[in-house]
Each structure stands twice: as C-alpha cells, then as structure tokens.
Amino acid sequence: MTRRTAGSNDRTTATPGGSPAVATGTPDGGWVSFVGSGPGDPGLLTVRALDLLRAADVVVTEAPDHELLVRSVLGIPTPTVVTDEDGNETVVDEGPVFLDGGFGEDGQPLTHAARAKVVLKPAKAGKHVVRLMTGDPFLYASGPEEAQACVKAGIGFEIVPGVSSATAVPAYAGIPLTTRSHREVTVVACTDKVDWSQYADGRTLVLLSSVGPIADVAAALVAAGRAATTPVAMTRVGTTTEQLTVTSTLENIAADARAAKIQPPAVTVVGEVVDLRETLSWFETKPLFGWRVLVPRTKDQAGPLSARLRGYGGVPEEVPTISVEPPRNPQQMDKAVRGLVEGRYEWIAFTSANAVRAVREKFEEYGLDARAFSGLKIAAVGDKTAEAIAAWGLRADLVPTGEQSAAGLLEVWPEYDEVLDPINRVFLPRADIATENLVAGLIDLGWECDDVTAYRTVRAAPPAAPVRDAIKTGKFDAVVFTSSSTVRNLVGIAGKPHPSTVIAVIGPATAKTAEEHGLRVDVMAPSPSAEVLADALADFGAARRLALVESGQPVTKPSDRKTASRRKVSN
C-alpha cells in the first residue's frame, strides 16, 4: 500500500484583497488562483506568483516541466519513499500536491471541461488551488473558461497575470515589437482560419502556433500585398537556454525554418522591426549561451557557482564528486573543542567553509555557542571562509590580503612572541586530506599546532551512465574544477573529460592537478573564488565568440564539433 504525506493544510492563503487568510479545510474555504508561469524562464515569475505557490495546498500544472519549475524556485526537494516494517510505502513530500491539468492518463490533452474538473475538485474540498498556466491566464489560454466554471460552482478565484510569450520571446530575441516608426502590433493565433488580407499593411505581426502553417501563412500574406522580402524571425523555446532564432523573409521562412528543424513552441514576428535584432540581440549573445557546464562539487556548495553560470547563459549540471563526512574517530575533535572552551588555544585557523561547519556542528552538539570564542583569535584562509565565519556571528581577525591559500595565510601570520602571546598553540580543524604545508609553516613561526581532522572528504558514487558518457564524448562544453580533489574524484568516478571540453580551474594548485591527469587547462581564475571562476570562463567564452564572428564563422559551442549547416541561424 502506498500513502502520501504532505505538509500541513493550515497554509497561509490569499484572499481577493491580497490579505492573508487560513484555509479552513471546509468547502467554504476553497479558493483558486489562476497564475501565469510566464514563457519558460523561471526568473520571469512574478513576486505574487511566488507568494501564492508558497501558500498553495494544490498546484494544478499545465506543462510537463511545471512541477520541476515550482520545486526549483521554492527549493522543494523531490519526494522520497519510506517503507515501514510491514512493507507499506509512504511517499513523503514537503511541497503541495501536484495535479496534471494539461493531459489525461491516456496522454491526450484535456478538454476545457475536464481541466475545470481537475481544478474544482480540490477547491470544493476547501483547498487553496494554484492553477499554473503557461504565459498569461487570460491571453491565448484556457483561463477564462476555467474561471467561468469557478463562478458556476461558487468558488472564489483571482487572476495573477503572467509574462506572455507574445511579448517576452521577441524581447529575448532582441526584437522590439514597437518603435517610433512602427507603432502598431497585432497578435494572431494561427490555430483557426484567418483572413490574412486584413494584415496586408505594414504593422508588426506576432504569430502564435505558427510552425506548422508557416508556409501557408507566408504565402497568404504575400498574396495579400506584403512584400516577399518582408523580414521574419521565428524563435523556438524562447527565454530558455535552448532558444534558437531563425531570421528570414516571407518568401524563405518556411524553407529556412524546416532546415533549422524548428519545432513548437515557437513565436514568429513579421515586420521591419525584425531587422533591429542584428544590433539588439542580447540573450543569445551571452558569453556562455547554451553551454552545458559540468560542475563537479560537493552538492550543497554548488549553488552560487551554478547561479553565476546561469547568469552568463550557461546550463550548469551539478555532479557531486565529493561527500563530506564526519571523522572516523571523533575523539580528537571532541578533545580539541574542549580545549578551546578551556582556553588552551591562542588561535583557531579555518581553511575552508567545511571546517567552519564541522566546528559549528560540534558546538551545537555540546550546547555551546559563539561566546566560547571569547579571547580566541580567528584566522580564515580566504574571503569565502571568512563569510562562513561571519554567518556564525564571528569576525575573522586574520585574512590573507594577497593570495587566498595556505601560503597566503602564512605570509600574514605573525611570529610567536612569548611576551605578547600568552599561549603558543593553534587549533587547526581541517580535512583528512589536507597537506602539511600550513602546519610546517606555523611551526617555523614558533607556533605549536593541533592539526585535527574535522571532516573527511569521500569520493562520491559515480554519476548516471548518460552523464559519464557525456563527459567522455564531449557533450559538455566546459567543466569547472574548484579544487584538486574535484579533479581527482571526477576522473576517478567518471573518466577524463573529452579534449574538446573547456577546462576551467580555480587556481594554480588545481591547474597542476588537472595537468597531472592529462587535462589541458584553458581557464584559470585570477583569485580563488567560485564566482570569479565563473567570470573567467565567461570572459573565455566571450573572446571565443568574438573571434568566430570576426573570422566570419558561425557561432558554435565547444561541443559542436561537426561542420555547421548553411541555414541562416542568428545568434
């Protein structure tokens, strides 16, 4: 038997005036929020949409990727299955209940009436339902029909507009729909018979559902009086990193779109404004646009780097290569923490955010807090470690001003002075694989060190077979290594990246390890920071793109090793 448990139904929900209320769990408490999800980019969700998703008991989706989108933006983990002693399985899910409002169990699209039933059933049971709809609920969507069903059933509802693909996709393609010279724009859905003779003038046209009928539409517009050379742009999966735009003319768009293998969903723009794309294209010209970037890191540390890569148009794929585990023998750490509390040390030196976390967890285990650091001097190997210390409510007394490494820390570390320093001992909580350079350097400066294993770095399990294949065959455009251990572990669990893959490293030590494993280092961050590493890779991508453009070659990705076709695809 399988059961599903979810969070409490006493969720904060929204009322017509926007003021919060609590769902009562009765039919009278039912409420439906029709929310536009936008055209695809999660960043285009409105603030109101996020608030309602957080408060929802039930989310009725429309597109296959909607559940993943909601879990991603709200940070909701995927469901887990727990089996009890009797063999009963319970699906534990922290988020709302997800219902498919787009397709039935047979895989066929639901009718408006069937969709309305999916929405109304939980609402009648007193639930706060968010009906998530692609684009805008009231623009070329089934929102009006489903809202009318709510009225008929006596269920309260609200409309939360979303960014429509009719405006967002051209904007992401660098095509303004209106200018001082072209002030009129018309949006046309090509799903039914259209009298194209009424669009013979020079107004801008935005065509939806146009991929299939584009040949007939273009011919009809030319027959109506539009010039065969009228510019046309067709953009598929707009606002996502898979976006592809084909620019052409009315007489050639059908053949060019077919050559480019354009598939729905796509938005087509007809008119002179298309010519402005040549100078205004901003999204598809991002330095890492569409690059599939491998991020081999400890899973909980990949967030900032991945976010930075997305900002440059990259598609990061996080593959855990290291698992941070407690030390096998915790007694050494226990003894050191007791010594810290008793005033045994003059300094504590943190060489990573993981070390800060390990000590903090040990403090919490003993019921201690940051007050135990009173009178103790704190050193951090770099800014990121100092930030982790600051998050604990502490301030690092010593951070390298130059190179942020063990060598850099030794350069600024003071010599032991028996007059000024009442205690000559340093507590050094580190990983089990840390080198001895820092300890040796501190001893040379007159200090005694308690080099304690605070955590172990363990090689993670190999990634799935498709990921391993992608690494070896060059389907990743770049890989970013943030430490020597990520190099060793990735090669160990998945093999060496293909020679076509761009190798980016966080510093000289990581570069040396990569070269020792037979990898060619293409990019090295000027300072040891994950964000700076992403910036350096973006600079490399921008320079590569510029070189291709200046040489008259098509803009490709490192993984595109085949000769590009001659279709006119603008990037």
Q: Which tens digits make up the pLDDT trace of 271-296?
A: 999 999 999 999 999 999 999 999 99
Residue 55, Cβ density class (10 Å: 0-12 exposed, 13-18 middle, ≥19 buried)? buried
- pLDDT band for position 70 (cuts 50, 70, 90): very high
User: What backbone torsions phi and psi does residue 8 show, to the nearest 5 degrees?
Assistant: -60, 145
Query: Per-residue confidence at 299, pLDDT binned at 50, 70, 90?
Result: low
Residue 270 has a pLDDT of 98
Span 151-161, mean pLDDT?
A: 96
For the chain, the residue count is 571
Beta strands in 55-96 (DSSP E): 58-61, 80-83, 89-92
Of these ranges, 234-248, 378-392, 397-411, 557-571, the one predicted with the greatest mean pLDDT is: 234-248
Average pLDDT, the chain: 88
Q: Given this model, what pLDDT does residue 377 score?
A: 93
pTM for the whole structure: 0.75
pLDDT at residue 36 tops 90: yes
pLDDT at residue 7, as a whole number = 41
What are the pLDDT digits (tens) for 114-138? 999 999 999 999 999 999 999 999 9
Q: What is the DSSP letter of 104?
A: -
Alpha-helical runs (H) found in 266-311: 277-280, 303-311
Least confident of 65-79, 237-251, 387-401: 65-79
- Which tokens belong to 540? 């490399």
The pLDDT of residue 564: 41
Average pLDDT over residues 233-237: 97
Weakest mean pLDDT among 17-21, 446-450, 457-461, 464-468: 17-21
- Closest alpha carbon to 506 in 518, 521, 491: 521
Q: pLDDT, tens digit, for every residue of 395-408?
A: 999 999 877 788 88
